[in-house]
């Protein structure tokens, strides 16, 4: 007796490996395979769990982005005496000393005033004492002594990133072909910042180079 030859059927593609098939359950409990159009895949909740840390990081980054900070240019002078390189925390009593003067406290005024030489027309800023001195941080910025006049700072702005204040400046240098007196100068910039919740202050020049970092007490 001869038996009919067996015909090898092609192996069926598993449903799990077919991206365009999904299973549906009929009312009678039988699973049926149906086609899903391309581009209509549903996201499983478990697949979204690994994205949760990334979403948290994006939210923290958005909250920590830089915000403009109200600042005051208190002093911009070309001969600051006794100032260290980088950032230094000073008070209003130090402003006149930076210019070689002294503060005089009037009997009828709680705020100090500066007894300093008048401006010589060189574009420097006279020291000022705002009324909210108790709530103001004074930060002095220096790049040390310079060989000639023509060096100095220009305050471009101050921003806050969380508890860090970022002071952005432009460092000016004289032209290479300028004829200048061979006199040592010591330019400085004093910026007034609201105390708030600041914990650190950083300063940069126009190229992004760090000019100093100051940790606040």
pLDDT tens track for 133-162: 678 999 999 999 999 999 999 999 999 999
Q: How many CB atoms lie within 10 A of CB 127?
A: 23
- If asked whether residues 59 and 71 sit together in one domain, one would say no
pTM: 0.61
- If asked whether residues 124 and 30 sit together in one domain, one would say no
Of 63, 83, 98, which residue is a domain's last? 63
Kindly state whether residue 55 falls inside one of the protein's structural domains. yes
Kindly state whether residue 35 falls inside one of the protein's structural domains. yes
- If asked whether residues 36 and 124 sit together in one domain, one would say no
- If asked whether residues 46 and 89 sit together in one domain, one would say no
Kindly state whether residue 164 falls inside one of the protein's structural domains. yes
Kindly state whether residue 79 falls inside one of the protein's structural domains. yes
Of 63, 85, 119, which residue is a domain's last? 63
- Confidence class for position 217, pLDDT limits 50, 70, 90: confident
Q: Output 108 or 157, whichever has higher pLDDT.
A: 157
Domains held by the chain: number: 2
- If asked whether residues 42 and 73 sit together in one domain, one would say no
Q: Average pLDDT of 50-79?
A: 74
- If asked whether residues 121 and 102 sit together in one domain, one would say yes
Q: Which domain holds residue 82?
A: 67-173+182-215
At 9 the pLDDT is 52
Q: How far lies 7's CA from each of 2, 10, 13, 164, in Å?
A: 15, 10, 18, 77
- If asked whether residues 123 and 38 sit together in one domain, one would say no
Q: Looking at 66-209, which runs of residues are DSSP E strands?
A: 67-68, 72-77, 86-90, 102-104, 113-115, 136-142, 152-161, 164-172, 188-194, 200-204
Kindly state whether residue 2 falls inside one of the protein's structural domains. no
- If asked whether residues 45 and 122 sit together in one domain, one would say no
CA distance 76 to 163: 25
At 15 the pLDDT is 46
CA distance 159 to 141: 16
- If asked whether residues 23 and 99 sit together in one domain, one would say no
- If asked whether residues 45 and 104 sit together in one domain, one would say no
CA distance 154 to 214: 19
Residue percentage of the chain with pLDDT more than 90:
45
Q: In the chain, which residue ranges form alpha helices assigned H by DSSP?
A: 45-48, 52-63, 92-98
């Amino acid at each position: 007796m001869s038996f009919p030859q067996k015909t090898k059927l092609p192996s069926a593609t598993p449903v799990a490996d077919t991206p365009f098939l999904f299973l549906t359950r009929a009312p009678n409990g039988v699973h049926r395979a149906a086609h899903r159009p391309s581009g209509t895949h549903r996201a499983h909740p478990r697949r979204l769990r690994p994205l949760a840390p990334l979403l948290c990081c994006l939210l923290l980054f958005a909250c920590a982005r830089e915000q403009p900070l109200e600042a005051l240019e208190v002093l911009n002078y070309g001969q600051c005496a006794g100032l260290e390189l980088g950032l230094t925390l000073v008070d209003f009593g130090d402003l006149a000393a930076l210019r070689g003067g002294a503060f005089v406290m009037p009997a009828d005024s709680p705020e100090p005033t500066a007894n300093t030489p008048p401006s010589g027309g060189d574009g420097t800023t006279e020291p000022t004492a705002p009324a909210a001195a108790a709530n103001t941080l004074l930060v002095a910025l220096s790049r040390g002594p310079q060989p000639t006049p023509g060096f100095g700072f220009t305050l471009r702005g101050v921003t806050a990133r969380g508890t860090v204040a970022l002071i952005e400046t432009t460092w000016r240098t004289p032209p290479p072909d300028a004829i200048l007196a061979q006199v040592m100068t010591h330019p400085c910039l004093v910026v007034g910042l609201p105390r708030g919740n600041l914990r650190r202050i950083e300063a940069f020049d126009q190229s992004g180079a760090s000019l100093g970092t100051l940790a606040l007490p």
